[in-house]
Each structure stands twice: as structure tokens, then as C-alpha cells.
Amino acid sequence: MLGCVIHGQGDLRVDELPVPSPGPGQALVAVRYGGVCGSDLHYWRHGGVGDFRLREPMVLGHEVVGTVVSYGAGTSGPVPGTPVAVHPATPCGVCPECADGRANVCRDTRYLGSAARTPHVQGGFAAQVVVPAGQLRALPAGLDLRRAALAEPLSVALHAVRRAGTMAGRHVLVTGAGPIGCLVVAAAKAAGAARITVTDLLPRALSYAVSAGADAVVRADDPADPSWPHEVDVAIEASGVAAGLDTCLRLVRRGGVVVQLGMLPPGQSPFAGNLVVSREVELRGAFRFDGEFDDAIALLAVESSFDGLVSAVLPVRDAESAFALAADRSTSCKVLLDFTS
Ligand SMILES: [Zn+2]
Ligand SMILES: [Zn+2]
């Protein structure tokens, strides 16, 4: 079977891999689609993401949907053939954060396709993958696999919106209109935001944000753009660029909330930190998600506007082209790999 393996910076290969067999507690899943994530692109282009560096070859991918094939001895779950999404995280369950109900910041979690720990946790970009059976989520009737492939990034967005607090009646700023920023728009809308303004450098990205429900869009590099808000109640930074965080801090109202969701470059970041003090801005981080995965699946099942965010589907043998396409934000939003070929 084919799998998509990162061997080092700039060295992405489609390798022939052995079909794994599930052990006790595990399930074998035939993967249909895998969404190419910003973190996958970072491993490819930079050999790491945030402060996590690649130290050995790793199957990429954590946005995975498919159908159940079989289970290991003594293990059960959705019957074979059931369409499922795979929750990519297996928190340890015993650390202080897990005990505190914050499993998304578990200090010993295993996350599909992540170099946060060594040996790395191999990911889901392969025709068949073994995962803990408890990570399977059966899809509701009527939710097709293609849209369901957005479950993981939508969970990230839902978690960021939850971190931001009340949305009802609020004017929300989202900096960055990549796939995550667009899904934050959809999540904020679903949570009752009154008005959503989105900034980005690229017109195409802003048009995806409009399809996700943005009320106003702003060219981030144009200070004279008439759509710049004077002030917002909540700002969610989804570009992973320090300038985006700076914009959020300058535009949020006094006592407002800024959520940093985008992964900033490794090391230190320049931003107007004194505004956190003088305006009592609440600066909060948002990292991955936990129970929001189930909320994401439920939301995807009832909302068809997400379909416009999947901008291309390529066969796994064209993985490098798919990655290049996903990295080209002047045309792409979410790019999926198809593993059935
Ligand atoms: Zn992702
Ligand atoms: Zn834990």
C-alpha cells in the first residue's frame, strides 16, 4: 500500500509500506481522504513545526477519514464497513492537565503524524492505518467522507472559539484566512457572532472567508482599506504571524479577548505586548482540541457551506503536487489526498 512519508526537510516521498495489523485495543481503517494541514506543510518545507523538529522518517497526516476494516483480538467498535473519522489525539489520561479536563494540553499525548515526541507518532496518510479503537467516530447518516475530512481542522476552530468565550452579539476579528481561519469564521458564526471581519494578504483567501460566512474582509497590507474595523470585541489570530497578533492586540477593545491559534515561528515573536497591560487584554492560547471533535462532526452533518472550502482532491501518488497546491494560498483552501487509488 502507498503512504506519504516525510524523510526530512523538502524530502516528501510516496513509499510502499506494509499493511499493518491491529493488536488488542486497536482498529484497522481503510483511509479514504486525508486533509493536508499547515503542520504537514511545515514538516515538508521546514523540517518541523513550531518547536517540534523532525528526527526520523514519519508518515504525515492527522486529518483522516475512511471505513473500518477490522479490529484486534478482543476489541470492538463501529462494525466493519462503517464510515468513520479518526480523532488524532490519545491523551495520557493521568497527567495534571488530563485530570483537570484539559486533555488537549496533555503533557504526554500521542497525536497522529506529530514529531512532538520521539520516536514520532506515525500519521494517517496511508491506504490503511492502525489506530486505537477508541479514536474512531462513526459518521452520522448523510455526512459524506469528503466533507467529514474537515472534522479535525473544524475541531481546532471550535476549540479556539470556545477559548474566546461568548460569541453571541460580538464583533469578531479573524486574522488569517487559511483553512483554519475560514473554519474559525464558520465556527464563530455557528456560535452566534454578530459580525465577523477577516484579514489576509491574498484576495483568493479572503474569498474563501466570505464563503465561510465573513461579513467583511480586509487586505492586511492596505492600511487605507475602508473595511478595517475601528474596534472589535474578540480577535482570533489564525495566521501564525506575529504581525497578526499585533493587529489583534491593537484592534480588540479594552478588556477584550485575543486568542492566539496560529502556530508562531519558533523562538521569540515581536508584538505590542504592553497593550495586554494598559488595555487589560486577555491573551489566551488555543491548542488542538478535545471533545470538540464530536461537535465538529455534528456541525458538518447539518451545514453544507463547508463544501466550498475543499478546493482540490488529488490521488496519493501525486502527494508532492498536492502539498505544493495546498501551500499555494493564492488558489487553495483545504486540499485532500485520496488514498483509494
Ligand atoms: Zn490539521
Ligand atoms: Zn495527560
Residue 152: pLDDT over 70: yes
Tell me the ligand closest to 107's alpha carbon: 2
254 C-alpha to ligand 1 centroid (Å): 32
In this structure, the number of other CB atoms found within 10 A of the CB of residue 297 comes to: 23
Tell me the ligand closest to 95's alpha carbon: 2
- Spacing of C-alpha 142 from chain mean position: 23
pLDDT for the residue 143: 96
Q: Which residues pair with 52 in a beta bridge?
A: 49
Contacts of 90 (CB under 8 A, 6+ apart): 109, 110, 111, 132, 134, 135
Residue 265: pLDDT over 90: no
100 C-alpha to ligand 2 centroid (Å): 9
> In terms of C-beta density within 10 A (0-12 exposed, 13-18 middle, 19 or more buried), how is residue 202 classed?
middle
pLDDT for the residue 50: 78
> In terms of C-beta density within 10 A (0-12 exposed, 13-18 middle, 19 or more buried), how is residue 110 classed?
middle
Both 219 and 321 in one domain: the answer is no
What value does the mean pLDDT take over residues 59-84?
98
What value does the mean pLDDT take over residues 56-70?
98
Per the document, the length of the chain is 341
Both 28 and 124 in one domain: the answer is yes
108 C-alpha to ligand 2 centroid (Å): 5
CA angle, corner 36, sides to 111 and 215, nearest 5? Answer: 105
What value does the mean pLDDT take over residues 308-314?
97
Residue 174: pLDDT over 90: yes
99 C-alpha to ligand 2 centroid (Å): 7
Antiparallel, parallel or unpaired: β 110-111 and 89-90:
antiparallel
Tell me the ligand closest to 336's alpha carbon: 1
273 C-alpha to ligand 2 centroid (Å): 31
DSSP state letter for 190: H
Both 235 and 310 in one domain: the answer is no
pLDDT band at 341 (very low <50, low <70, confident <90, very high): low
Domain contains 297: no
Both 8 and 134 in one domain: the answer is yes
Both 132 and 23 in one domain: the answer is yes
On average, the pLDDT of the chain sits at 96
Q: In which domain, by residue range, is 56 found? A: 2-138+303-338
Residue 249: pLDDT over 80: yes
